[in-house]
Amino acid sequence: MLSWISNRVHLMIKHKIGFLLLAAGSSSRMRGKDKLLQEIDGVPQIERILRQVLQLKFPVFVTVPATDTKRKSIISKTNATIIEVHNSKLGMGHSIAEGIGEITKNYDFLSLAICPSDLPDLKMGSINHLINYFFKSPEMICRPVARGSENVGHPVIFPKKYFEELKSIRGDSGARNIIQKNKRAVNLYNTDDVSYFLDLDTPEEFTNWMKRTNG
């Protein structure tokens, strides 16, 4: 069961696209630290990526563990809508399914972008480029791929026809099985922009990334 915390009230309004940010993970590889609360230039990572996404001026939703007051406190100060996930330990797939389920009760989106919250370099411009590419073939799933490789990244944008499948996924593989099953319906956005692919899962990755960033 989920509960909503929102500073806006919406009826069933049709939107071209919405954004689901996944922030219900346990940071299990961070050895006791919460990677979404790690500060970068004095700003927690969850707030850092939210600042970029919210610049795009469409509805933004964030899944969080129901008991995580620290993450919720940060998100509640923005215009994003919090979706509390009560069984977040069931994995990313469960969080996606619960998030999509709650969103579709209140909105009629034509598409949804889904993205983890631990991409420290992802900027508004990069997200906007991906969305513009998606709308060239809006009936297809769209995801970034590193040019000349098979390295795929986030966000991934799904047309409305996949929402029911997304609501049924379970486990920790996210939407990977849906993408695999519909490979011919995936439109890959070839790019040299590394911000789609860099996520930070361990203290060492954070330390090394900070060293590279601060040069």
- Inter-residue contact 24 to 66 (CB < 8 Å): no
CATH code at 15? Answer: 3.90.550.10
User: Which residue type, as a one-letter code, is found at position 75?
Assistant: I
Q: Mean pLDDT per 10-residue run, the chain (215 residues)?
A: 39 74 75 82 94 94 94 96 90 92 94 95 96 96 96 97 94 86 96 94 80 71
pTM: 0.88
Beta strands in the chain (DSSP E): 4-5, 13-15, 18-22, 39-40, 43-44, 60-65, 81-85, 107-109, 111-116, 141-146, 156-159, 186-191
153: containing domain: 4-214
Q: What is the pLDDT of residue 5?
A: 38
Number of domains into which the chain is organized: 1
